[in-house]
């Protein structure tokens, strides 16, 4: 059975600026604290990451998984589905970027569905989920605002 998380936040940047940061996979280790390495394995027709392999510090160990990315527009959207993983059976999710306040800010919706291949206690799962959401939204907000201000 999969665990699901969904959360929203507002970022002081345009949807395109948020999209640009979230699709700059190779720089994830600079701002997403648990991601140690992100490598684009295959690009799509527009040169964006299609298949991306991640090495992540998770629950006291290192894990590796590969995600396949799908892109939409109007509003900007990035979705992914796991194609390989060592401790996860399923990782699926998406970011959706909607303009608010005349387009000067963005409402970011993050959704994740995960199914682990190993059994772990509920409190450990909840702690891991909060770390993932923090990186997905709070660390993203900080990174976007740094990129926009520079």
Strand residues in 27-128 grouped as ranges (E): 35-43, 49-58, 61-72, 76-85, 88-100, 105-116
How many residues belong to the chain? 150
Residue matched to tokens 């940061």:
21
User: What does pTM read for this prediction?
Assistant: 0.86
Task: Considering the domain delimited by 3-149, tell me its CATH architecture.
Answer: 2-Layer Sandwich (3.30)
Find all residues with CB under 8 Å of 136, minimum gap 6, and list them: 7, 95, 110, 112
What b/e sequence results for 123-132 when a residue is b if at least 16 CB atoms lie within 10 Å of its CB, and e otherwise?
eeeeebeebb
Q: Is the peptide bond before 108 cis (omega within 30 degrees of 0)?
A: no
pLDDT tens figures, 5-16: 889 999 999 999
Domain extents for the chain? 3-149
Q: Quick check: 90 and 114 in contact, CB under 8 A? A: yes
pLDDT tens figures, 98-130: 999 998 999 999 998 876 666 665 545 555 555
Q: Average pLDDT by consecutive 10-residue portion of the chain (150 residues)?
A: 78 95 96 93 95 86 92 87 87 93 94 73 55 78 92
User: Tokens at residue 43, please?
Assistant: 């690009």
């Amino acid at each position: 059975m999969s665990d699901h998380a969904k959360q929203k936040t507002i970022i002081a940047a345009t949807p395109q600026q948020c999209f640009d940061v979230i699709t700059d996979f190779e720089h994830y280790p600079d701002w997403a604290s648990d991601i140690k390495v992100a490598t684009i394995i295959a690009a799509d027709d527009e040169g964006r990451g299609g298949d991306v392999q991640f090495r992540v510090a998770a629950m006291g160990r290192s894990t590796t998984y590969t995600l396949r990315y799908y892109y939409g527009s109007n509003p900007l959207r990035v979705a992914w589905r796991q194609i390989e993983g060592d401790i996860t059976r399923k990782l699926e999710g998406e970011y959706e970027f909607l303009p608010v306040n005349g387009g000067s800010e963005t409402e970011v919706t993050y959704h994740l569905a995960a199914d682990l291949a190993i059994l772990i206690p509920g409190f450990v799962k909840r702690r891991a989920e909060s770390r993932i959401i923090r990186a997905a939204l709070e660390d993203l907000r900080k990174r976007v605002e740094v990129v926009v201000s520079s």
